[in-house]
Chains A and B, each alone.
Chain A
Amino acid sequence: MSNSNLKQILTDGAWRQNTGLVVLLGLCPLLAVTNTVVNGLVLGLATMLTLMVSNLAVSIMRGLLKPEIRIPAFVLIIASVVTVIELLMNAYFYDLFRVLGIFIPLIVTNCAIIGRAEAFASRNAPLPSLIDGFATGLGFCITLVLLGALRELAGRGTLFSGADMLLGDWGQHLALTIIPEHPGFLLAMLPPGAFLGLALLIAARNAWEARNSDTQTIPVTHLVADHHET
Protein backbone atom coordinates (compact mmCIF):
# COMPACT_ATOMS: atom_id res chain seq x y z
CA MET A 1 0.00 0.00 0.00
CA SER A 2 1.74 3.15 -1.12
CA ASN A 3 1.50 6.39 0.77
CA SER A 4 -0.17 8.21 -2.07
CA ASN A 5 -2.89 5.58 -2.04
CA LEU A 6 -3.54 6.02 1.67
CA LYS A 7 -3.63 9.75 1.22
CA GLN A 8 -6.14 9.27 -1.55
CA ILE A 9 -8.36 7.20 0.77
CA LEU A 10 -8.12 9.86 3.46
CA THR A 11 -9.05 12.79 1.24
CA ASP A 12 -11.78 10.79 -0.45
CA GLY A 13 -13.44 9.84 2.81
CA ALA A 14 -13.04 13.08 4.65
CA TRP A 15 -13.52 15.58 1.85
CA ARG A 16 -14.24 14.50 -1.71
CA GLN A 17 -16.84 11.93 -0.72
CA ASN A 18 -17.83 13.47 2.60
CA THR A 19 -20.76 11.47 3.89
CA GLY A 20 -22.66 14.42 5.27
CA LEU A 21 -21.93 17.06 2.63
CA VAL A 22 -21.48 15.18 -0.65
CA VAL A 23 -22.94 11.70 -0.48
CA LEU A 24 -25.69 12.84 1.90
CA LEU A 25 -25.98 9.55 3.74
CA GLY A 26 -26.91 9.21 7.39
CA LEU A 27 -28.89 12.43 7.42
CA CYS A 28 -31.33 11.31 10.09
CA PRO A 29 -28.86 11.39 13.01
CA LEU A 30 -26.95 14.23 11.39
CA LEU A 31 -29.97 16.50 11.43
CA ALA A 32 -31.42 15.29 14.71
CA VAL A 33 -28.59 15.57 17.21
CA THR A 34 -26.64 18.57 15.97
CA ASN A 35 -28.19 21.19 18.21
CA THR A 36 -24.95 21.52 20.16
CA VAL A 37 -21.28 20.97 19.40
CA VAL A 38 -20.90 18.35 22.11
CA ASN A 39 -23.84 16.25 20.92
CA GLY A 40 -22.54 16.36 17.37
CA LEU A 41 -19.01 15.49 18.43
CA VAL A 42 -20.06 12.49 20.49
CA LEU A 43 -22.32 11.02 17.84
CA GLY A 44 -19.59 11.71 15.28
CA LEU A 45 -16.97 9.88 17.35
CA ALA A 46 -19.30 6.95 18.00
CA THR A 47 -20.05 6.71 14.28
CA MET A 48 -16.36 6.93 13.42
CA LEU A 49 -15.52 4.13 15.83
CA THR A 50 -18.32 2.00 14.40
CA LEU A 51 -17.08 2.60 10.86
CA MET A 52 -13.52 1.65 11.72
CA VAL A 53 -14.38 -1.53 13.59
CA SER A 54 -17.01 -2.69 11.12
CA ASN A 55 -14.76 -1.96 8.13
CA LEU A 56 -11.95 -3.89 9.75
CA ALA A 57 -14.15 -6.86 10.61
CA VAL A 58 -15.75 -6.98 7.16
CA SER A 59 -12.39 -6.72 5.48
CA ILE A 60 -10.93 -9.58 7.51
CA MET A 61 -13.89 -11.80 6.65
CA ARG A 62 -14.20 -10.68 3.05
CA GLY A 63 -12.75 -13.92 1.66
CA LEU A 64 -15.41 -16.00 3.40
CA LEU A 65 -18.46 -13.91 2.65
CA LYS A 66 -20.33 -15.17 -0.35
CA PRO A 67 -22.23 -12.45 -2.20
CA GLU A 68 -25.63 -13.83 -1.19
CA ILE A 69 -24.97 -13.62 2.54
CA ARG A 70 -22.85 -10.53 2.63
CA ILE A 71 -25.64 -8.08 3.50
CA PRO A 72 -26.98 -10.04 6.52
CA ALA A 73 -23.39 -10.61 7.61
CA PHE A 74 -22.68 -6.86 7.42
CA VAL A 75 -25.82 -6.13 9.41
CA LEU A 76 -24.84 -8.63 12.11
CA ILE A 77 -21.35 -7.19 12.38
CA ILE A 78 -22.50 -3.57 12.46
CA ALA A 79 -25.30 -4.24 14.94
CA SER A 80 -22.90 -6.04 17.29
CA VAL A 81 -20.37 -3.22 17.13
CA VAL A 82 -22.99 -0.55 17.76
CA THR A 83 -24.49 -2.44 20.68
CA VAL A 84 -21.05 -2.76 22.27
CA ILE A 85 -20.54 0.99 21.90
CA GLU A 86 -23.99 1.61 23.33
CA LEU A 87 -23.27 -0.52 26.41
CA LEU A 88 -19.91 1.12 26.96
CA MET A 89 -21.38 4.61 26.68
CA ASN A 90 -24.17 3.67 29.01
CA ALA A 91 -21.61 2.54 31.56
CA TYR A 92 -19.01 5.28 31.23
CA PHE A 93 -20.71 8.35 29.74
CA TYR A 94 -24.09 7.94 31.29
CA ASP A 95 -25.30 11.54 31.03
CA LEU A 96 -24.34 11.83 27.41
CA PHE A 97 -25.93 8.51 26.69
CA ARG A 98 -29.16 9.84 28.08
CA VAL A 99 -28.95 13.00 25.98
CA LEU A 100 -28.27 11.18 22.73
CA GLY A 101 -30.73 8.45 23.64
CA ILE A 102 -32.13 6.61 20.68
CA PHE A 103 -29.54 7.97 18.25
CA ILE A 104 -26.76 5.74 19.52
CA PRO A 105 -28.58 2.47 18.72
CA LEU A 106 -29.76 4.09 15.49
CA ILE A 107 -26.16 4.27 14.25
CA VAL A 108 -26.96 0.77 12.99
CA THR A 109 -29.27 2.28 10.42
CA ASN A 110 -26.76 4.85 9.22
CA CYS A 111 -26.38 3.54 5.70
CA ALA A 112 -23.02 5.24 5.36
CA ILE A 113 -21.67 2.36 7.44
CA ILE A 114 -23.11 -0.49 5.42
CA GLY A 115 -22.23 1.56 2.35
CA ARG A 116 -18.53 1.58 3.25
CA ALA A 117 -18.63 -2.10 4.16
CA GLU A 118 -20.08 -2.92 0.77
CA ALA A 119 -18.22 -0.45 -1.40
CA PHE A 120 -14.82 -0.56 0.23
CA ALA A 121 -14.12 -2.99 3.05
CA SER A 122 -15.44 -6.08 1.26
CA ARG A 123 -12.98 -5.42 -1.58
CA ASN A 124 -9.87 -4.21 0.21
CA ALA A 125 -7.26 -5.35 2.69
CA PRO A 126 -7.72 -4.65 6.43
CA LEU A 127 -5.36 -1.67 6.72
CA PRO A 128 -6.82 0.43 3.90
CA SER A 129 -10.31 -0.52 5.12
CA LEU A 130 -9.50 0.69 8.60
CA ILE A 131 -8.19 3.94 7.16
CA ASP A 132 -11.23 4.30 4.96
CA GLY A 133 -13.44 3.87 8.02
CA PHE A 134 -11.41 6.48 9.86
CA ALA A 135 -11.53 8.95 6.98
CA THR A 136 -15.25 8.54 6.33
CA GLY A 137 -15.97 8.79 10.05
CA LEU A 138 -13.77 11.84 10.34
CA GLY A 139 -15.60 13.57 7.52
CA PHE A 140 -18.94 12.74 9.10
CA CYS A 141 -17.76 13.84 12.54
CA ILE A 142 -16.44 17.17 11.26
CA THR A 143 -19.73 17.82 9.51
CA LEU A 144 -21.65 17.08 12.71
CA VAL A 145 -19.39 19.35 14.76
CA LEU A 146 -19.61 22.22 12.26
CA LEU A 147 -23.38 21.98 12.04
CA GLY A 148 -23.60 21.69 15.83
CA ALA A 149 -21.43 24.79 16.25
CA LEU A 150 -23.48 26.74 13.74
CA ARG A 151 -26.77 25.86 15.39
CA GLU A 152 -25.59 26.25 18.97
CA LEU A 153 -24.10 29.66 18.21
CA ALA A 154 -27.15 30.90 16.35
CA GLY A 155 -29.64 29.27 18.68
CA ARG A 156 -28.16 29.94 22.09
CA GLY A 157 -25.06 32.05 21.66
CA THR A 158 -22.85 29.42 23.30
CA LEU A 159 -20.29 26.84 22.22
CA PHE A 160 -19.34 23.56 23.91
CA SER A 161 -22.15 23.74 26.43
CA GLY A 162 -22.57 20.35 28.06
CA ALA A 163 -18.86 19.53 27.70
CA ASP A 164 -18.92 18.46 31.34
CA MET A 165 -21.03 15.45 30.34
CA LEU A 166 -18.14 14.27 28.19
CA LEU A 167 -15.15 15.31 30.28
CA GLY A 168 -16.34 15.47 33.85
CA ASP A 169 -16.70 18.58 35.96
CA TRP A 170 -13.79 20.51 34.53
CA GLY A 171 -15.55 20.44 31.17
CA GLN A 172 -17.84 23.15 32.50
CA HIS A 173 -15.02 25.64 32.02
CA LEU A 174 -14.98 24.79 28.35
CA ALA A 175 -18.50 26.04 27.83
CA LEU A 176 -18.14 29.40 26.12
CA THR A 177 -20.74 32.11 26.05
CA ILE A 178 -19.98 33.85 22.79
CA ILE A 179 -23.00 36.10 22.72
CA PRO A 180 -24.00 37.11 26.26
CA GLU A 181 -27.71 37.64 26.93
CA HIS A 182 -28.59 35.78 23.75
CA PRO A 183 -32.39 35.73 23.62
CA GLY A 184 -32.43 32.32 21.97
CA PHE A 185 -33.16 31.77 18.31
CA LEU A 186 -35.68 28.98 18.23
CA LEU A 187 -35.44 28.23 14.52
CA ALA A 188 -31.80 27.21 14.81
CA MET A 189 -32.52 24.75 17.60
CA LEU A 190 -35.49 23.08 15.93
CA PRO A 191 -35.28 20.65 12.99
CA PRO A 192 -35.76 23.31 10.28
CA GLY A 193 -32.58 24.94 11.54
CA ALA A 194 -30.77 21.67 10.93
CA PHE A 195 -31.87 21.60 7.28
CA LEU A 196 -30.98 25.23 6.73
CA GLY A 197 -27.63 24.83 8.46
CA LEU A 198 -26.76 21.75 6.44
CA ALA A 199 -27.73 23.56 3.24
CA LEU A 200 -25.39 26.43 4.17
CA LEU A 201 -22.54 24.01 4.83
CA ILE A 202 -23.08 22.21 1.52
CA ALA A 203 -23.22 25.53 -0.30
CA ALA A 204 -20.03 26.68 1.39
CA ARG A 205 -18.26 23.46 0.46
CA ASN A 206 -19.40 23.69 -3.15
CA ALA A 207 -18.31 27.31 -3.39
CA TRP A 208 -14.89 26.40 -2.02
CA GLU A 209 -14.56 23.55 -4.50
CA ALA A 210 -15.58 25.76 -7.39
CA ARG A 211 -13.00 28.38 -6.52
CA ASN A 212 -10.20 25.88 -6.13
CA SER A 213 -10.77 23.95 -9.33
CA ASP A 214 -10.91 26.29 -12.30
CA THR A 215 -10.59 23.57 -14.89
CA GLN A 216 -12.65 20.95 -13.12
CA THR A 217 -16.38 21.09 -13.00
CA ILE A 218 -18.12 21.35 -9.65
CA PRO A 219 -18.50 17.85 -8.24
CA VAL A 220 -21.98 16.60 -8.81
CA THR A 221 -23.74 15.72 -5.62
CA HIS A 222 -24.91 12.15 -5.83
CA LEU A 223 -28.45 11.86 -4.72
CA VAL A 224 -28.41 8.46 -3.14
CA ALA A 225 -31.76 7.36 -1.86
CA ASP A 226 -31.64 6.37 1.78
CA HIS A 227 -33.05 2.89 1.27
CA HIS A 228 -31.75 1.46 4.47
CA GLU A 229 -32.63 4.29 6.69
CA THR A 230 -35.62 4.01 8.94
Chain B
Amino acid sequence: MSGKSHPVIRSSLLLGLIALLGTALLAGVNELTHERIVEQEKLRILRQLNEILPTASFNNDLLEDVIEINDEVFFRHSAPVKVYRARMNDQAVAVLMNLVAPDGYNGDIRLLAGVSANGEILGVRVISHRETPGLGDPIEKQRSDWILGFNHKSLQNPESDGWAVKRDGGEFDQFTGATISPRAVVRAVHNTLIYFEANAQMLFDTPAQSE
Protein backbone atom coordinates (compact mmCIF):
# COMPACT_ATOMS: atom_id res chain seq x y z
CA MET B 1 0.00 0.00 0.00
CA SER B 2 2.74 2.43 -0.81
CA GLY B 3 1.42 5.36 -2.75
CA LYS B 4 -0.67 3.41 -5.19
CA SER B 5 -4.16 2.55 -4.02
CA HIS B 6 -5.01 -1.03 -3.26
CA PRO B 7 -6.21 -2.99 -6.33
CA VAL B 8 -9.44 -3.91 -4.56
CA ILE B 9 -10.25 -0.25 -4.02
CA ARG B 10 -9.36 0.54 -7.60
CA SER B 11 -11.60 -2.22 -8.89
CA SER B 12 -14.47 -1.19 -6.65
CA LEU B 13 -14.21 2.38 -7.81
CA LEU B 14 -14.21 1.24 -11.41
CA LEU B 15 -17.29 -0.91 -10.88
CA GLY B 16 -18.97 1.98 -9.11
CA LEU B 17 -18.15 4.20 -12.05
CA ILE B 18 -19.68 1.75 -14.51
CA ALA B 19 -22.79 1.50 -12.35
CA LEU B 20 -22.97 5.28 -12.22
CA LEU B 21 -22.66 5.57 -15.98
CA GLY B 22 -25.33 2.93 -16.49
CA THR B 23 -27.65 4.67 -14.05
CA ALA B 24 -27.12 8.03 -15.73
CA LEU B 25 -27.86 6.49 -19.11
CA LEU B 26 -31.04 4.85 -17.83
CA ALA B 27 -32.21 8.00 -16.08
CA GLY B 28 -31.73 9.92 -19.32
CA VAL B 29 -33.59 7.43 -21.47
CA ASN B 30 -36.33 7.15 -18.87
CA GLU B 31 -36.72 10.91 -18.88
CA LEU B 32 -36.98 10.86 -22.68
CA THR B 33 -39.49 8.03 -22.94
CA HIS B 34 -41.54 8.35 -19.78
CA GLU B 35 -44.15 10.72 -21.13
CA ARG B 36 -44.64 8.73 -24.29
CA ILE B 37 -45.01 5.47 -22.40
CA VAL B 38 -47.71 6.93 -20.15
CA GLU B 39 -49.40 8.33 -23.25
CA GLN B 40 -49.29 4.94 -25.01
CA GLU B 41 -50.72 3.20 -21.99
CA LYS B 42 -53.63 5.67 -21.88
CA LEU B 43 -54.23 5.30 -25.59
CA ARG B 44 -54.35 1.55 -25.28
CA ILE B 45 -56.94 1.68 -22.50
CA LEU B 46 -58.97 4.25 -24.40
CA ARG B 47 -58.88 2.10 -27.52
CA GLN B 48 -60.22 -0.84 -25.53
CA LEU B 49 -62.95 1.28 -23.98
CA ASN B 50 -63.93 2.82 -27.29
CA GLU B 51 -64.35 -0.59 -28.86
CA ILE B 52 -67.27 -1.16 -26.54
CA LEU B 53 -68.47 2.40 -26.17
CA PRO B 54 -68.34 4.72 -29.20
CA THR B 55 -66.69 8.08 -28.53
CA ALA B 56 -69.81 9.95 -29.60
CA SER B 57 -71.98 8.48 -26.86
CA PHE B 58 -70.28 10.27 -23.95
CA ASN B 59 -68.49 13.54 -23.36
CA ASN B 60 -66.69 13.18 -20.03
CA ASP B 61 -63.05 12.23 -19.53
CA LEU B 62 -63.45 8.48 -19.24
CA LEU B 63 -59.93 7.84 -17.99
CA GLU B 64 -60.34 10.28 -15.10
CA ASP B 65 -63.85 9.27 -14.06
CA VAL B 66 -62.80 6.03 -12.42
CA ILE B 67 -63.56 4.26 -9.17
CA GLU B 68 -62.25 0.99 -7.80
CA ILE B 69 -64.42 -1.54 -6.04
CA ASN B 70 -63.01 -4.00 -3.56
CA ASP B 71 -65.48 -6.80 -3.17
CA GLU B 72 -63.40 -9.91 -3.00
CA VAL B 73 -66.31 -12.16 -2.03
CA PHE B 74 -68.64 -11.11 -4.82
CA PHE B 75 -66.09 -10.92 -7.62
CA ARG B 76 -64.18 -13.96 -6.37
CA HIS B 77 -60.88 -12.19 -6.90
CA SER B 78 -58.62 -10.06 -4.76
CA ALA B 79 -57.86 -7.55 -7.50
CA PRO B 80 -60.02 -4.42 -7.24
CA VAL B 81 -62.51 -3.95 -10.08
CA LYS B 82 -61.88 -0.75 -12.01
CA VAL B 83 -65.04 1.04 -13.10
CA TYR B 84 -64.96 3.73 -15.79
CA ARG B 85 -68.10 5.86 -15.85
CA ALA B 86 -69.32 7.34 -19.12
CA ARG B 87 -71.61 10.36 -18.95
CA MET B 88 -73.25 12.65 -21.48
CA ASN B 89 -73.70 16.14 -20.03
CA ASP B 90 -73.54 14.60 -16.54
CA GLN B 91 -76.25 12.07 -17.38
CA ALA B 92 -75.21 8.50 -16.65
CA VAL B 93 -74.60 6.63 -19.91
CA ALA B 94 -72.73 3.46 -19.05
CA VAL B 95 -70.06 1.87 -16.92
CA LEU B 96 -67.10 -0.08 -18.21
CA MET B 97 -65.78 -2.58 -15.72
CA ASN B 98 -62.37 -4.21 -15.71
CA LEU B 99 -62.98 -7.52 -14.04
CA VAL B 100 -61.46 -10.93 -13.70
CA ALA B 101 -63.01 -14.32 -14.30
CA PRO B 102 -60.97 -16.39 -11.83
CA ASP B 103 -62.05 -19.82 -13.05
CA GLY B 104 -60.58 -20.09 -16.55
CA TYR B 105 -58.92 -23.33 -17.59
CA ASN B 106 -55.55 -21.75 -16.98
CA GLY B 107 -56.32 -19.22 -14.29
CA ASP B 108 -57.50 -15.66 -14.58
CA ILE B 109 -59.28 -14.31 -17.64
CA ARG B 110 -59.25 -10.52 -17.56
CA LEU B 111 -62.31 -8.93 -19.10
CA LEU B 112 -63.69 -5.54 -19.90
CA ALA B 113 -67.47 -5.37 -19.80
CA GLY B 114 -69.63 -2.41 -20.70
CA VAL B 115 -73.07 -2.05 -19.11
CA SER B 116 -75.43 0.72 -20.17
CA ALA B 117 -77.32 2.74 -17.58
CA ASN B 118 -80.45 0.66 -18.20
CA GLY B 119 -78.65 -2.59 -17.40
CA GLU B 120 -77.95 -3.88 -20.89
CA ILE B 121 -74.59 -5.28 -21.96
CA LEU B 122 -72.93 -2.96 -24.47
CA GLY B 123 -70.12 -5.34 -25.14
CA VAL B 124 -67.51 -7.57 -23.56
CA ARG B 125 -63.88 -8.01 -24.52
CA VAL B 126 -61.16 -10.32 -23.26
CA ILE B 127 -58.15 -8.27 -22.20
CA SER B 128 -55.83 -11.13 -21.38
CA HIS B 129 -56.02 -14.85 -20.74
CA ARG B 130 -53.92 -17.98 -20.69
CA GLU B 131 -56.44 -20.41 -22.17
CA THR B 132 -55.22 -23.13 -24.50
CA PRO B 133 -54.51 -21.80 -28.00
CA GLY B 134 -56.89 -23.35 -30.49
CA LEU B 135 -59.32 -24.61 -27.84
CA GLY B 136 -60.20 -21.92 -25.34
CA ASP B 137 -59.05 -18.87 -27.24
CA PRO B 138 -62.18 -18.28 -29.35
CA ILE B 139 -63.24 -16.12 -26.39
CA GLU B 140 -60.99 -13.49 -28.05
CA LYS B 141 -62.75 -11.30 -30.57
CA GLN B 142 -59.79 -11.77 -32.95
CA ARG B 143 -60.50 -15.49 -33.09
CA SER B 144 -64.28 -15.69 -33.21
CA ASP B 145 -67.49 -13.73 -32.86
CA TRP B 146 -68.51 -15.60 -29.74
CA ILE B 147 -67.89 -12.69 -27.37
CA LEU B 148 -70.25 -10.50 -29.42
CA GLY B 149 -73.07 -12.81 -28.34
CA PHE B 150 -73.25 -10.86 -25.08
CA ASN B 151 -74.27 -7.64 -26.81
CA HIS B 152 -77.71 -6.40 -25.72
CA LYS B 153 -78.08 -9.15 -23.13
CA SER B 154 -79.43 -8.22 -19.71
CA LEU B 155 -80.70 -9.86 -16.54
CA GLN B 156 -84.11 -10.26 -18.16
CA ASN B 157 -82.71 -11.44 -21.48
CA PRO B 158 -82.15 -14.26 -20.89
CA GLU B 159 -83.57 -15.09 -17.47
CA SER B 160 -81.23 -16.32 -14.80
CA ASP B 161 -81.23 -19.97 -15.96
CA GLY B 162 -80.19 -18.94 -19.43
CA TRP B 163 -76.98 -17.37 -18.16
CA ALA B 164 -74.88 -20.48 -18.70
CA VAL B 165 -73.29 -22.37 -21.56
CA LYS B 166 -75.51 -24.78 -23.48
CA ARG B 167 -73.99 -27.83 -21.84
CA ASP B 168 -75.16 -26.44 -18.49
CA GLY B 169 -78.63 -25.77 -19.88
CA GLY B 170 -78.03 -22.13 -20.72
CA GLU B 171 -78.13 -20.34 -24.01
CA PHE B 172 -74.48 -19.48 -24.67
CA ASP B 173 -72.39 -21.67 -26.96
CA GLN B 174 -69.38 -23.57 -25.72
CA PHE B 175 -66.51 -24.47 -28.04
CA THR B 176 -65.51 -27.84 -29.38
CA GLY B 177 -63.23 -29.25 -26.73
CA ALA B 178 -63.54 -26.28 -24.42
CA THR B 179 -66.37 -25.60 -22.02
CA ILE B 180 -64.46 -24.18 -19.09
CA SER B 181 -63.26 -20.95 -20.72
CA PRO B 182 -66.67 -19.83 -22.04
CA ARG B 183 -68.32 -20.96 -18.81
CA ALA B 184 -65.96 -18.74 -16.81
CA VAL B 185 -66.66 -15.75 -19.04
CA VAL B 186 -70.44 -16.22 -18.97
CA ARG B 187 -70.40 -16.46 -15.19
CA ALA B 188 -68.28 -13.33 -14.81
CA VAL B 189 -70.49 -11.31 -17.16
CA HIS B 190 -73.63 -12.48 -15.41
CA ASN B 191 -72.11 -11.51 -12.06
CA THR B 192 -71.32 -8.09 -13.42
CA LEU B 193 -74.93 -7.53 -14.37
CA ILE B 194 -76.15 -8.68 -10.97
CA TYR B 195 -73.71 -6.34 -9.28
CA PHE B 196 -74.70 -3.48 -11.55
CA GLU B 197 -78.41 -3.90 -10.88
CA ALA B 198 -77.89 -3.84 -7.13
CA ASN B 199 -75.38 -0.99 -7.12
CA ALA B 200 -76.05 1.19 -10.15
CA GLN B 201 -76.70 4.27 -8.05
CA MET B 202 -73.50 3.83 -6.09
CA LEU B 203 -71.47 3.09 -9.23
CA PHE B 204 -72.42 6.36 -10.86
CA ASP B 205 -72.55 8.58 -7.79
CA THR B 206 -69.33 7.70 -5.99
CA PRO B 207 -66.90 10.55 -6.61
CA ALA B 208 -64.03 9.68 -8.92
CA GLN B 209 -60.90 8.49 -7.20
CA SER B 210 -57.82 10.28 -8.38
CA GLU B 211 -54.93 7.92 -8.91
Contacts and interface: CB of A to CB of B under 8 A. Distances in A.
Contacts of B32: 91
Interface in A62-102: 64-66, 68-69, 72-73, 76-77, 79-80, 83-84, 87-88, 90-92, 94, 98
B26 interface: yes
A91 to B, nearest CB: 4
B166 interface: no
Contact of B36 (A66, A72, A73, A92): A92
A52 interface: no
Contacts of B15: 69, 72-73, 76
Contact of A76 (B11, B18, B33): B18
A184 B135 CA distance: 10
B118 interface: no
Given A64-B14, A66-B7, A87-B29, A80 B22 contact: yes
B11 A68 contact: yes
Interface string B150-180: 0000000000000000000000000000000
Contacts of A65: 14
Contacts of B30: 87
Interface residues of B, number: 24
B22 A90 contact: no
Given A73-B18, A76-B18, A189-B133, A91 B11 contact: no
Nearest to B11: A69
A94 B29 CA distance: 16
A91 B25 contact: no
Given A69-B15, A90-B37, A94-B44, A186 B133 contact: yes
Given A76-B22, A83-B26, A91 B36 contact: yes
B107 interface: no
B134 A91 contact: no
Interface in B7-44: 7, 10-11, 14-15, 18-19, 21-22, 25-26, 29-30, 32-33, 36-37, 40-41, 44
Range, interface on chain A: 20 to 34
Nearest to B22: A80
A190 interface: yes
Nearest to A79: B22
A66 B33 contact: no
Contacts, number: 61
A73 B19 CA distance: 8
B14 A88 contact: no
A64 B7 CA distance: 12
Contacts of A186: 132-135
B18 A94 contact: no
Contacts of B132: 186
A72 B44 CA distance: 38
Among B10, B18, B32, B36, residue most surrounded by chain A Cβ atoms (within 10 Å): B18
A94 to B, nearest CB: 4
Nearest to B40: A94
Nearest to B17: A64
B43 to A, nearest CB: 8
Interface of B: 7, 10-11, 14-15, 18-19, 21-22, 25-26, 29-30, 32-33, 36-37, 40-41, 44, 132-135
Interface of A: 61, 64-66, 68-69, 72-73, 76-77, 79-80, 83-84, 87-88, 90-92, 94, 98, 184, 186, 189-190
20 contacts: A64-B14, A68-B11, A69-B14, A69-B15, A73-B18, A76-B15, A76-B18, A76-B19, A77-B18, A77-B22, A80-B25, A88-B29, A88-B33, A90-B33, A90-B40, A91-B32, A91-B36, A92-B36, A94-B44, A189-B134
Given A69-B15, A94-B44, 14 more contacts: A61-B18, A64-B14, A66-B11, A69-B11, A77-B18, A80-B26, A84-B25, A90-B37, A91-B32, A91-B36, A91-B37, A91-B40, A186-B133, A190-B133
